Structure 1
């Protein structure tokens, strides 16, 4: 079952939004930084894998960032807020639009 969550890291002043699959892997991730919550990443694991296979990984990562490399079961010291799919999609869509426009 897919779940959606967000976490805040004070030291980075960054909100992290995650879509997580049934095995605990992050399939999509958004990062919003600063008081203006500017999107600095909106990465999809599936897109990342396609970019890697096509030889365009550096370009993809430069534009959209990356997803977490470990499943959430291995994360320490985080307490996520659960989100609905609609809440995540709103953040995802806004971040992708802003990043794509750059």
Structure 2
């Protein structure tokens, strides 16, 4: 799904599991849709387990900490997994290329 936060001009793209927890999240900012986050919960947990959480957070960001079922004030647009994957791959590529 995706949601728009007009106060910050950011599009949020979410992949969620069956219980509503965000497993991957992409944030695109401004008219150029610049990726500012492309975080994976599984990667975040591995980074935490290996003591590299600060490095991961600064590079890829974090996923939402609450399940989508408790969010208020959002009107999400449903997406196909193919659309999310396209946005994910592009954002990760751009973030990784910027760090090189």
TM-score range, shorter chain: over 0.9
Superposed displacement of residue 64, structure 1: 0.1
Structure 1 length normalisation: TM-score? Answer: 0.95
How far apart, in 1, do the equivalents of 2:84 and 2:69 lie?
20
Within the alignment, does 1:73 sit opposite 2:69 as a pair? yes
1:21 to 11, 17, 20: 17
For residues 49-64 of structure 1, the aligned pairs below 5 Å read 49-64=45-60
Task: Give the gaps of 5 or more residues in structure 1.
Answer: none
Q: Deviations over 1:25-53 (max 9, x none)?
A: 00000000001000000000000000000
How far apart, in 2, do the equivalents of 1:39 and 1:82 lie?
20
How far apart, in 1, do the equivalents of 2:86 and 2:8 lie?
23
1:90 maps to 86
Q: Deviations over 1:1-34 (max 9, x none)?
A: xxxx000000010000000000110000000000
How far apart, in 2, do the equivalents of 1:79 and 1:20 lie?
15
2:6 maps to 10
Structure 2 length normalisation: TM-score? Answer: 0.97
Identify, as 1 or 2, the structure richer in strand: 1
